[in-house]
Amino acid sequence: MSYITFFCVITIAVIVRADVLSEQDDELIEDNQWFQKFHDCLMELGPCPEEVKKYTRIIPVYLKTACGSCSPKENELFQKHKALVAELYPKMFQNLKAKFVTKL
C-alpha cells in the first residue's frame, strides 16, 4: 500500500463530514480530546463515542477507493490536514500509520 493511500485514509477519516472536506475541520484536529478519542477508537483502545463514529465509518470507503473520488480542493485540504495531524500528534500518527499500513 502506498503512503499516499494511507495518509488519505487517515486524514480524510478525521476531517470528512458528509464526504466533504472543510477548512473548519482544523478545529476538530486541533482539539486534543477529540483527536485522542478518534485515535483510541481506531486503535481499539477505548470506546467509539457517537461524535467520533461518524468519522471512523468513512475509513472503509477510502480504503477501497484510495481517495479516487477526491477533488482538487479535497486534495489540497488533505495535504494541509495530513501535515497538521503529523505535527500535532506525531506518536498517535505513527501508531495509526503502523496499524493501517500493515493491514493493507
**Quick check: 52 and 37 in contact, CB under 8 A?**
yes
Local structure of 79: helix, strand or coil:
helix
Phi, psi (deg, nearest 5) at residue 90: -60, -40
Q: Which domain holds residue 16?
A: 3-103
Please tell me the predicted confidence (pLDDT) of residue 71: 73
Q: What does the pLDDT read at residue 14?
A: 52
- Beta strands in the chain, from DSSP E residues, in sequence order: 16-17, 20-21
DSSP string, 6-30: HHHHHHHHHHEETTEE-GGGHHHHH
CATH number at residue 98: 1.10.2080
* Residue ranges of the chain with per-residue pLDDT less than 70: 1-22, 58-68, 70, 75, 78-79, 100-104
- In the prediction, which pLDDT does 56 show? 74
C-alpha cell at 54: 461518524
The predicted pLDDT at position 89 comes to 94
pLDDT at 83: 78
Number of domains in the chain: 1
pLDDT of residue 60: 45
